[in-house]
Structure 1
Amino acid sequence: MAGDNERIKLALELLGTGLYPVIEQEMKAVYQDSWIDRAKESFRNSPLTSQPEGDAIRWDAHSTLLILWDHWNSVFRNRFTPLERSFVGELREYRNRWAHQSQINTDDTLRILDTAARLLSAAGARKEAQQLQKERDQLLYQILQYQEQVIVDSPDNRRERLRDAIVFLVCGIVIDLGIFFSYGTGGLAILFAIFVTAVFVFLAYQRWVTPDKPSYGAHECTNCGKIIYGESCPYCSETTVNT
């Protein structure tokens, strides 16, 4: 799906900026003034990094995730849970695939956005987490729209609409015949038959051109958390109007 690569790039950028503060805080607490040197030790065993010389560190997604993983037991295990450690491992794998231009599909992109948002939220980077949550929800909406269009364009859906349109036309013809048999072919009967024909032709046309859309059912709004029954949330719309 178009835009997946841009979303992954954004997620990696936000991981770098969002995780750096907690890494600096926790590494300083354990290693004091030597935390930079201890952090750079992680890069010596990694063939997938090109860090600058000296004390500087390029704080990108690779650096932050690698340091989190490499210093987990000594620094970060008291700050994060084992679940967050699994997030780090998963994101490292996806980052390496992306760096090597391996194929990452839309489902993987959705997973990356969600996992990165959860990790950032656990790290206290709420601004970055909310931005990725918004991207995740937008991508999920695009996926649902695509799946909906597939259902609408399916042969079964078309056959069902054609069947219903034919039923409307047949009903109109039967009613017209009943009018003529009951009231003859006088002027009023003809006008009434024309009216009935127009109504059922309109219904048949509307049925053919208006495909059935999947029912959303009761679900939770990803924005406000309230239970809604349609595609759009009336509570969020009401809040927007009031503001």
Structure 2
Amino acid sequence: MIGMVLAAGAGRRLRPYTDTLPKALVPVDGETTIFDIALRNLAAVGLTEVVVVVGYRAEAVQARQAALESKYGVTLTLVHNDKAEEWNNAYSLWLAREHFARGVLLVNGDTVHPVSVEHTLLAAEQAAEHADAGIVLALDDHKTLADEEMKAIFHEDGRLAKITKLMDPATAHGEYIGATLIRPEAAQALADALQATFERDPNLYYEDGYQELANRGGVIRGASIGQIPWVEVDNHADLARAREIACHY
């Protein structure tokens, strides 16, 4: 299994920080960036081969690649998304499809969370209740939800029924936090579902690809991360929260 980080996004709501940097390289703890935390977490659970999907300001990641590899003891393989400023991230994840066959632990390049999330997903890989799941989603089932969150509902048997921002928060079982375990056996089906998703509408999210896969019969389950401090960094208020919590990891 390898690590994977989606770091192609522009993060326009974080300007002026993102005038010259991708969102993943915005600092949240001194000089430590969101990307630093992602790599540190992956390395801490033994995932030292990391695929990174880059796009907006990719040269900033390339310029730091050698230093990051040395600092965290990882090897980075960059996959370039030349449509990062035009299309949404269903296409970004699809571009890395050749790496799915090894199994991946995927994290979004705008999520600040402790390494316990990675431990939770790797433990789920071995758990009997997730044995049939090609994909396991890290789920916050404690947070009070609103409209912006990527919300999920599961069937009584624990299989994913629906994942979208566009649902009544009161009906959701929790929020998908932007970290996923993808087993090798789910790779081809996920790639096909992602392709169908961005070909239908290039503005769709990779979570819409998960929905497509679930609709096709793919088994996707959730794993609770417990009550931990984390944040998806979309705007300046999120960034302030990230800076409050990242220094405690």
Same fold (TM over 0.5): no
Q: Give the structure-2-normalised TM-score.
A: 0.23
If each structure's strand is expressed as a fraction of its own residues, which one has the higher value? Answer: 2
TM-score, scaled relative to structure 1: 0.23
Q: Which one has the bigger helix percentage?
A: 1
- Bigger radius of gyration, 1 or 2? 1
